[in-house]
Amino acid sequence: MLFASMSLEDDLGDWRRSHYSSELHGMDGREVTLMGYVASIRDHGNILFVMLADKDGEVQIVFKRNAEGSDGATTQALFSKARMLKEHSSIAVKGIVRSMKNAPKGVEVVPKEMKILSLARSVPPFSVYSKNIPLDVRLDIRAVDLRRHYLRAVFRIRHNLLKAIRSFLDERGFIEVSTPKMISTASEGGAALFPIFYFDREAFLAQSPQLYKEQLTLAFEKVYEIAPIFRAEPSRTNRHLAEAISIDVEHAFVNYEDVMGILEEMISHAIGYVVDKCKDEFSILGTTPIKPSTPFPRYRYSQLIDILKGEGIRIEWGDDFAAEHLKALSSMLKGYYFIVDWPARMRPFYTKTKDDGSTALSESFDLMHGDLEISSGSTRINRKDELMERLKMQGLKPESFAHHLIVFDYGMPPHAGFGLGLERLLMTVTGLENIRDATFYPRDIDRLVP
List pLDDT tens digits, range 96-154: 999 998 888 899 999 999 999 999 999 899 999 988 899 999 999 999 999 999 999 99
Confidence of residue 56 (pLDDT cuts 50, 70, 90): very high
**Does 450 sit behind a cis peptide bond, omega within 30 degrees of 0 on the bond before it?**
yes
State whether 377 and 285 are in the same domain. Answer: yes
- In 3D space, the residue among 248, 233, 246, 354 whose CA is nearest the CA of residue 301 turns out to be 354
Render pLDDT for 298-351 as a digit per residue (tens, 0 to 9).
999 999 999 999 999 999 999 999 999 999 999 999 999 999 999 999 999 999
In a domain, 203, yes or no: yes
User: Residue 5, class by beta-carbon neighbours within 10 Å (0-12 exposed, 13-18 middle, 19+ buried)?
Assistant: middle
310 known member of a binding site: no
In a domain, 388, yes or no: yes
What is the number of domains present in the chain?
A: 2
- Residue 372 CA neighbour count, 13 Å, CB half: 23
231 known member of a binding site: yes
CATH of the domain at 14: 2.40.50.140
Residue 190 has a pLDDT of 62
272 known member of a binding site: no
423 known member of a binding site: yes
State whether 55 and 154 are in the same domain. Answer: no
26 known member of a binding site: no
Determine contact, residues 418/374, Cβ cutoff 8 Å.
Answer: no
State whether 373 and 409 are in the same domain. Answer: yes
For 343-382, b/e burial (b = at least 16 CB within 10 A) is: bbeebbbbbbbeeeeeeebbbbbbbbbbbbbbbbbbbbbb
State whether 260 and 345 are in the same domain. Answer: yes
Q: For residue 72, give Cα distances in angstroms to 24, 59, 75, 417, 448.
A: 17, 16, 10, 62, 50
* DSSP line for 54-69: ETTEEEEEEEE---TT
Helices and strands (DSSP H and E) totals, the chain: 13, 16
Residue 1 has a pLDDT of 43
In a domain, 376, yes or no: yes
User: Residue 265, class by beta-carbon neighbours within 10 Å (0-12 exposed, 13-18 middle, 19+ buried)?
Assistant: middle
Residue 70 has pLDDT above 90, yes or no: no
State whether 206 and 280 are in the same domain. Answer: yes
CATH of the domain at 212: 3.30.930.10
In a domain, 212, yes or no: yes
300 known member of a binding site: no
Residue 361 has a pLDDT of 95
- In 3D space, the residue among 161, 167, 128 whose CA is nearest the CA of residue 146 turns out to be 128
Residue 362 has a pLDDT of 96
347 known member of a binding site: no
Q: C-alpha angle with apex 449: 448 to 450, nearest 5 degrees? A: 150
Residue 188 has a pLDDT of 64
- Give the end of a domain, one of 85, 118, 151: 118
Q: Which residues pair with 130 in a beta bridge?
A: none
In a domain, 185, yes or no: yes
In a domain, 228, yes or no: yes
State whether 154 and 90 are in the same domain. Answer: no
- Looking at the chain, the whole-number percentage of residues with pLDDT higher than 90 is 87
Residue 4 has pLDDT above 50, yes or no: no
State whether 111 and 148 are in the same domain. Answer: no
329 known member of a binding site: no
* DSSP line for 388-448: HHHHHHTT--GGGGHHHHGGGGG-PPPEEEEEEEHHHHHHHHH--S-GGGGSSS--BTTB-
In a domain, 432, yes or no: yes
344 known member of a binding site: no
Mean pLDDT calculated for residue range 48-64: 96
State whether 102 and 166 are in the same domain. Answer: no
Domain that holds residue 104: 2-118
Residue 3 has a pLDDT of 41
Render pLDDT for 392-431 as a digit per residue (tens, 0 to 9).
999 999 998 999 999 999 999 999 999 999 999 999 999 9
State whether 150 and 114 are in the same domain. Answer: no
30 known member of a binding site: no
- In 3D space, the residue among 304, 387, 370 whose CA is nearest the CA of residue 333 turns out to be 370
What is the average pLDDT score of the chain? 93
Residue 181 CA to residue 194 CA, distance in Å, equals: 11
325 known member of a binding site: no
Residue 218 CA to residue 149 CA, distance in Å, equals: 45
389 known member of a binding site: no
In a domain, 123, yes or no: no
- Give the end of a domain, one of 74, 101, 118: 118
Those residues whose C-beta lies under 8 Å from the C-beta of residue 406, and which sit 6 or more positions away, are none
State whether 82 and 149 are in the same domain. Answer: no
State whether 80 and 159 are in the same domain. Answer: no
Those residues whose C-beta lies under 8 Å from the C-beta of residue 344, and which sit 6 or more positions away, are 351, 353, 359, 360, 361, 362
State whether 114 and 147 are in the same domain. Answer: no
